[in-house]
Each structure stands twice: as C-alpha cells, then as structure tokens.
Amino acid sequence: MQSMTETAQRRQTISKSSLSSIRRRENWLGWLFAAPAILGFIIFVFGPMIASLWLSMTDYKVASTPHFVGLENYRNLFNGTDAFFYKSLGVTLYYVILSVPLQIIVAFFLAILLNQKVKGLTFFRTAFYLPTIVPLIASSMVWLWLFDPDMGLLNIIMRALHLPESQWIYSETTVVPTLVLMSLWTVGGTMVIFLAGLKDIPDHYYEAIEIDGGNALHKLLYITIPLTSPTIFFNTIMGFIGGFQVFVQPYVMTQGGPNNGSLFYIFYLFREAFTFSNMGYACAIAWVLFIVIMLFTFLLFRTSQKWVYYEGEGR
C-alpha cells in the first residue's frame, strides 16, 4: 500500500506547477464536452419530467383536458384510499432489499472466478452471460415449468433431497423470494461490468501481497475490493434503480398475483396508467417513486466517500 501514498504525494507537487493555466480553460471546455449530454437531458428528459410533474397534479385521463386538482392525487396515495399503494411499495422494497445485495455478491463472485486462468473460459463466460440475452418472452416458459409445485424440476429436486417443497411463484409468501432467486440468473450484465473492472487491476499489486505472505482473502480484502470499489458502487446504484423499477417479471409471469403478492410498484403504476387510464394519478405514483429512489441514491453517494476509492482523484 505504500506505493499509493507515494504517488499521491508526487501528484500534489506536479499540480502546483504551471498546469494551473490549463486548468482554467477546463471550465468552459468541460461544459462543452458535456454539452451533448446536458442538451440531451434538457430536450429528452427534462421536458417530459416537468410535464409528468404537472400532470401528477391533474385528473388527466389521456385525450381528455386535464383539470388541476392540486395535491389530491398524492393525498389519495398516502391516506390509504388506494389500498394498492402501500402494498406495492412494500412488495418492491422487500424485493430491492433482498435482491440488490445478493445480486452484487453473486455477480462479483462469478466475475472473480471468471477472471482466473481456467480452461474453457470462453465457454464459461458465454454460459453465465447467456440468460441475460434470451428474451423473457421465451425463457418465461422454462421458469413457469421449473416453478411448478407438482411437476416442476425444482420441487422434484427438493423431494429427492427430502427438503421441504415450495409453492414458488404460486404462493403469496414465496413469490418475491422466488423472483429474487430468478433474478440471480440474469446477473450476467453486472458480472461483465465487474470483469471489466477486475481486468484493470495490475498484477504486481497481487504479487506484492504474495511477497508479504498474504493469502487469497488478503488479496480480496486489500486489493480487489478497494480497487473495484468504483465498479461496486456503480453496480449498487444501478441495482437499486433497477430493482425499484422491476416490471417485466410481474407483467409476463405473475400479473401481480397471487393475491397481490407480486404487485410490484411499476406494475401497479402501469396498470393505473394504461389499463385504468388514470394518467394523472399514475404520474403522482411515479413521482413518489422518483423521490424514494433519489433518497436512496443520495444516501449511497454520501456513504460512497467512505468506501469508494478512485485512483484518479487525490484524496
């Protein structure tokens, strides 16, 4: 770890020198480089966002003239008039809290395994990534069979091992954990991001640990995790944002059932917006989620200063 502090010191001495004039130009050059993205945000995101915020305070039903109703939509959400709101929020939170850490751990673990020198690496990597490529419209059929309580493969295995059988997605209590389990099949994307991150760790860092007599656990704790912390951070944020917006599984496989056990937030929102045509109300539902996700992200960014290590930022 010594070499790191050394480079940091060296960096400071250089930045004090004549580079300051270049830095000054960065101010407008930076804006310019970011301009397409900022412009894109203003055109494609900001407009629709403001529109939906305004609609969330109307009784808009699509194609009818929206009437301003103030905060009524929000009141109806929170005062319990709409029994689905808290239910779906609970279901979604449960899913997020269960799935995000699991997905990160599994993906990280797989990435480490697939970063080793093993025979047939191409095969293994492709195999682990494959589930993310197959469209759910096709794979949902497999899942429905696997989860069948009577004839499904999972319960056949459970029976053979004398383990308790489960109703999987067909019971109110097990549907969310089952969908979490299923989501582990598609960690391929997260895994690939980790792989790209792991690749950038120079070998000599590990060699240094080996010379000091460290074992695999030391390597993991002192090299791998700190140096991939930006990637871990990224995947955690994306996991939260994605987890809160799970839609396809309930839409294709469970339709929110049984007994609203998988009434995910976006599914509930989508139903309000497109089945019940309550677009104004749906916008209010969306904005509540927006605030929730923003809070989560904000907290994560806050804590990130303690555990995310950027080589490029002198700290």
Partner 1 sequence: MRVKLLLWTLCSALLIGLLAGCSSDNSGSAQTVDGKQKVTLTYASWGSTNEKKVQEQIARQFTEKYPWIEVKYMHIPGDYVTKLTTMFAANQAPDVFPIYKAQGLQWAEQGKLYNLNEFLKEDKELTPDTLIPNAILYWDKDKVAGIKVTEEAFGLYYNADMFKEAGLPLPPTQAEQAWTWDQFLDTAKKLTIDNNGNNATSPAFDPSNVKQYGVRFDTWMWHLMVPSNGTSVISEKKDKLNLEDPQMIEAVQKMADLITVHHVAPSPTQSKNIPAPAVALQSRKVAMDLDGQWVQLDLGQSGMNYGVGVLPKLKESKTTLFGEPEVISATTKHPKEAWMFYKFLLDAKSGLDMHASGLWMPVSKEWYTDPALIQQWATVKPGHPEGYTDAIMKQTLNNGVNSYEYYLKNSEKISAIINPALDQVWLGKKTVQQAFSEISAKANAEFKGTYPEE
Partner 2 sequence: MTTSAFRWQRVLLYAVLIIGSLLCLFPFYWLVRSSMMDLAQIFEMPPKWIPEPFVWRNFIEPFEQLPFGRYFLNTLIIVVGTLIGTLLSSTIAAYSFSRMKWVGRDKVFAILLTSMMLPFAVTLIPTFIGWQSLGLINSYAPLIVPAFFGGGVFNIFLLRQFYMTLPRELDEAVFVDGGNHFTIFTRIILPLSRSAVLVIGLFTFLNTWNDFMGPLVYLNDESKFTLAIGLQQFQGMYTAQWGVLMAASLIIVLPAILLFVIFQRYLIEGIALTGIKG
Q: Which residues bind partner 1 (CB under 8 A)?
A: 32-33, 35-36, 61-64, 83-84, 144-145, 148-152, 167, 170-172, 256-260, 271, 273-277, 279
Min separation Cβ 76 and partner 2, Å:
17
303 binds, among partner 1, partner 2, none (CB under 5 to 8 A by kind): none
Structure tokens at 212: 């000091």
Min separation Cβ 245 and partner 1, Å:
16
Closer to partner 1 by Cβ: residue 128 or 170: 170
Cβ neighbors of 62 (< 8 A, separation 6 or more) are: 277, 279
Closer to partner 1 by Cβ: residue 4 or 35: 35
Q: Name the phi and psi angles at 192, rounded to 5.
A: -65, -40
133 binds, among partner 1, partner 2, none (CB under 5 to 8 A by kind): partner 2
Among residues 112, 102, 248, the alpha carbon closest in space to that of 191 is found at 112
Closer to partner 1 by Cβ: residue 82 or 206: 82
Cβ neighbors of 203 (< 8 A, separation 6 or more) are: none
Closer to partner 1 by Cβ: residue 111 or 253: 253
Q: Is the torsion defined by CA of 183, 189, 195, 200 positive or negative?
A: negative
Min separation Cβ 138 and partner 1, Å:
14
Q: Name the phi and psi angles at 95, rounded to 5.
A: -65, -45
71 binds, among partner 1, partner 2, none (CB under 5 to 8 A by kind): none
Q: Name the phi and psi angles at 68, rounded to 5.
A: -70, 130
149 binds, among partner 1, partner 2, none (CB under 5 to 8 A by kind): partner 1
254 CB burial (10 A radius; 0-12, 13-18, 19+)? buried
Closer to partner 1 by Cβ: residue 128 or 147: 147
